[in-house]
């Protein structure tokens, strides 16, 4: 399989427009069209339906897109590891989501392997698993729900979730709220991150959900919360770490805890990964109930 053709295919599939895909790839559109036709010839399948107004994926194209992304990510991870070996460097990268503290486990691995360059990488809801597939991280602390395909996952701990709202919100003075209390709120994050809210949300039942502002970090979400644009649901440790005076965090009585796991590429057979998994489990076992002690920034 020609990885270059696969990259071209993914670009077209994501843009659903040959001209925009060609511009993003910095190649001429006729060249891109020829490469896609060649790929269709190799696969003996039609990947796109095209007319004068639109481009769409065929069932075969949808299947190829689902398989091509992890394949390309794996190829990128391979390239990174080979380049690292060529440089003669030994690095081990630990991904972590906001609010989690990984310092203890990272220091323990460094102590065992003084010649190993152990680094950390802050992730987000959008890329917490992607960093494993493309090789940016060797292991990553995940907050569920997350797409676990192709990954080995080890549960570590749980912690409560809270709703974060403006300090002058009508519910801000409550000791705790319920999901029903939040039914009419606008959630400033992907509803898939809070499936329980999704099931009762008025704006989803009525189709009145507003276009989501482009927010990727906790800091950006809190800015929108403070401005009165909506609320967010966060793990307790994240809300505590990002405390600010113009927003408040309120416990949600009937909202289940956030599950924290350690994940890595299931296809990798690395003794360092397995060693870090054992270290992470040991540190997670010392975590206090309701907190993520034993996990932190370095």
What is the average per-residue pLDDT within 196-202? 84
Beta strands 117-122 and 91-96, pairing class: parallel
Question: Do 184 and 146 belong to one domain?
Answer: no
CA dihedral 182, 187, 191, 197 (to 10 degrees): 0
CA dihedral 58, 62, 67, 70 (to 10 degrees): 130
Question: Do 58 and 177 belong to one domain?
Answer: no
φ, ψ for residue 101, nearest 5 deg: -115, 115
Query: What percent of the chain has pLDDT above 90?
Result: 54
Residue 234: inside a domain: yes
Give me the helix-helix angle, 3-15 and 59-87, nearest 10°: 130
Which of the pair, 296 or 221, is modelled with greater confidence? Answer: 221
Question: Do 177 and 241 belong to one domain?
Answer: yes
d(CA 46, CA 263): 36
Question: Do 175 and 147 belong to one domain?
Answer: no
pLDDT of residue 223: 94
The CB density around residue 156, as the number of other CB atoms within 10 Å, is 23
- Is a pLDDT exceeding 70 seen at residue 295? no
pLDDT of residue 212: 61
Question: Do 203 and 245 belong to one domain?
Answer: yes
CATH number assigned to the domain comprising residue 60? 1.10.10.10
Query: What percent of the chain has pLDDT above 70?
Result: 91
Question: Do 182 and 211 belong to one domain?
Answer: yes
Domain count, the chain: 3
Question: Do 18 and 67 belong to one domain?
Answer: yes
Residue 289: inside a domain: no
Instruction: Give the contacts of 254 (CB within 8 A, at least 6 positions apart).
Output: 178, 179, 196
d(CA 106, CA 128): 18
pLDDT of residue 76: 79
Residue 200: inside a domain: yes
**Which residues span the domain enclosing 13?**
3-71
Residue 47: inside a domain: yes
Residue 76: inside a domain: no
Residue 115: inside a domain: yes
Question: Do 147 and 264 belong to one domain?
Answer: yes
What is the average per-residue pLDDT within 225-250? 93
Question: Do 134 and 203 belong to one domain?
Answer: no
CATH number assigned to the domain comprising residue 212? 3.40.190.10
Judge if pTM exceeds 0.85: no
Question: Do 9 and 147 belong to one domain?
Answer: no
């Amino acid at each position: 399989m020609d990885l270059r053709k696969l990259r071209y295919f993914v670009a077209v599939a994501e843009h659903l427009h040959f001209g925009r895909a060609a511009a993003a790839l910095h190649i001429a559109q006729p060249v891109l069209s020829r490469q896609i036709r060649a790929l269709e010839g190799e696969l003996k399948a039609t990947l796109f339906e095209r007319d004068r107004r639109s481009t769409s994926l065929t069932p075969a194209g949808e299947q190829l897109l689902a398989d091509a992304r992890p394949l390309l990510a794996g190829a990128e991870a391979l390239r990174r590891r080979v380049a690292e070996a060529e440089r003669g460097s030994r690095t081990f990268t630990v991904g972590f989501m906001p609010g989690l503290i990984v310092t203890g486990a990272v220091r323990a691995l460094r102590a065992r392997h003084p010649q190993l360059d152990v680094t950390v990488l802050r992730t987000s809801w959008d890329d917490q698993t992607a960093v494993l597939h493309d090789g940016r991280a060797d292991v990553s602390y995940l907050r569920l729900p997350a797409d676990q395909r192709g990954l080995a996952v080890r549960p570590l701990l749980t912690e409560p979730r809270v709703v974060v709202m403006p300090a002058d919100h009508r519910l801000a003075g409550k000791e705790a709220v319920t999901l029903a209390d939040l039914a009419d709120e606008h959630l400033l994050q992907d509803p898939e991150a809070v499936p329980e809210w999704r099931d009762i949300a008025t704006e989803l039942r009525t189709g009145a959900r507003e276009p989501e502002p482009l927010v990727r970090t906790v800091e950006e979400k809190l800015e929108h919360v403070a401005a009165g644009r909506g609320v967010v649901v966060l793990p307790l440790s994240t809300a505590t770490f990002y405390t600010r005076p113009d927003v408040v965090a309120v416990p949600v009585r009937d909202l289940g805890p956030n599950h924290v796991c350690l994940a890595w590429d299931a296809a990798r057979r690395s003794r360092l990964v397995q060693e870090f998994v054992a270290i992470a489990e040991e540190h997670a076992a010392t975590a206090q109930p309701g907190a993520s002690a034993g996990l932190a920034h370095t």
